[in-house]
Structures are given as structure tokens and as C-alpha cells.
Amino acid sequence: MTTRVSLLVAVMAVFMAAGSAFAQQAAPAASPPPDLSPVSNPVSGFVKAGVGRYEKNMVAAAEAMPAEKYGFKPSPEMNSFGHLVMHIAQSNNTFCAKISGQTAPDVKIAETDAKDKLVAAVKDSFAFCTAALAKVDDSKLGEQFVLFGNRPISRGGALVALGGSWTDHYATQAIYLRLNGILPPTAQPAK
């Protein structure tokens, strides 16, 4: 019986030593992770991190459509591509102004404006969003304001809606481009 006890003690000692060695290897706690914006501000940080990506893709999509196709509509009841580009600029300015508490730029554009003017308006709207959202953090996500019409929304809800707006608008741009035989920016082969 003493042999069994000795064997059991030896096995337990091996497991304890292995567990101790594993714990030392598994816990490399030298320095804390850097304070990244999406970590400390998960909602606003995520949206701010997307501004550059959506700007790149949405501006490139607006530039990819030939000027003579800005009046293109997939069907008569749908908006033209020019209207879509105008709407992107207006939406960016409205969302980013409301979210940041700033005044939206007073931009006069129409869907029938020249391609260059509409593309410039989209570029300017992303520049405004970048500047307007720079100081936004997650500390006031619950604050309410009116965004469209008379519907109240929280700042957090507006940030989520802004990200959804970019996704929806870029997807629509991509469809319009594909219907005209043009690959959207995110479908282009790697160079």
C-alpha cells in the first residue's frame, strides 16, 4: 500500500509541476495592452475606424461611374446614380453634424450637377465627418436628439445608423456599377 501512496504522490507532484509551468507560460503579464479607441470607445471607435475605408470605397465608386451614366436608373421608379451620390454627401453631413453637435456644412448640390461637383461633395462630406467625429466618444451614447423629421434617436443609435448608411449606400453604388459593366472598387483584382 505504501507503494501505491508513493506512486500517487509522485503522479500528483508531476501534475502540480506541469500545472505550475503551464501557468507561468500562459500568463505573460508584462505591460497592459495599448488604449486603442475601439477598445475604450467600442461604438464611436468602430464608426470612426470605418470612415477612411468607406471614404476610399465610396469616392472610388463615384469616380468609377462615367459622367454620362450619372443619370442611370436601374428602373424608372428608382433614383439615379447622381441622386445616390448627392444623397451620400447629404447623409454624411447630416449624421456627422447631429452626432457631433456641430452645424452641417451648407452645401448646395442637385442630382443633376456635374460628376466632378458631386464627387467633390462626397469627398468634402467625409472630410467633415472625420473632423466632426474626432472628439466624439462613448460617454454620451444615451443622449437623445432628433435626426430625421420628428423621430428621436440616441447618439449611439445614430452612430450605428451612420455605419449602416455607409454599408447600404456603398452596396447600392456597387449594384449600379455592376449593372453598367463596371467592377466596384472592392471587387477589383489586387494590384
pTM of the model: 0.79
Q: In the predicted model, what is the mean pLDDT of residues 110-132?
A: 98
Within a domain: 37: no
What's the N-to-C CA distance of the chain in angstroms? 73
Q: 107 and 22: one domain?
A: no
Query: Which among 77, 83, 84 has a CA at the least distance from the CA of 58?
Result: 84
pLDDT at residue number 93:
97
Length of the chain: 191
Q: 25 and 69: one domain?
A: no
Q: 18 and 51: one domain?
A: no
pLDDT at residue number 150:
85
Model confidence over 25-65: pLDDT tens digits? 444 444 444 333 456 899 999 999 999 999 999 999 999 99
Q: 139 and 174: one domain?
A: yes
Within a domain: 38: no
Q: 47 and 26: one domain?
A: no
Model confidence over 127-178: pLDDT tens digits? 999 999 999 999 999 999 998 888 899 999 999 999 999 999 999 999 999 9
Q: Can you give the residue range of the structural domain that contains 1?
A: 1-30
Q: 63 and 111: one domain?
A: yes
User: Across all residues in the chain, what is the average pLDDT?
Assistant: 85
Within a domain: 76: yes
Select the more confidently predicted residue: 149 or 17. Answer: 149
Q: 17 and 83: one domain?
A: no
Q: 54 and 21: one domain?
A: no
Q: At what angle do helices 155-179 and 81-100 cross, to 10 degrees?
A: 170
Q: What percent of the chain has pLDDT over 90?
A: 74
Q: 47 and 131: one domain?
A: yes
Residue 8: pLDDT over 80 = no
Number of domains the chain is built from: 2
Phi-psi map region of 101: left, alpha, beta (phi>0 left; psi -120 to 50 alpha): left
Q: In the predicted model, what is the mean pLDDT of residues 75-99?
A: 97
Residue 22: pLDDT over 80 = no
Within a domain: 72: yes
Q: 79 and 130: one domain?
A: yes
Q: What percent of the chain has pLDDT over 70?
A: 80
Distance of CA 16 to the CA centre of its chain: 48
Within a domain: 22: yes
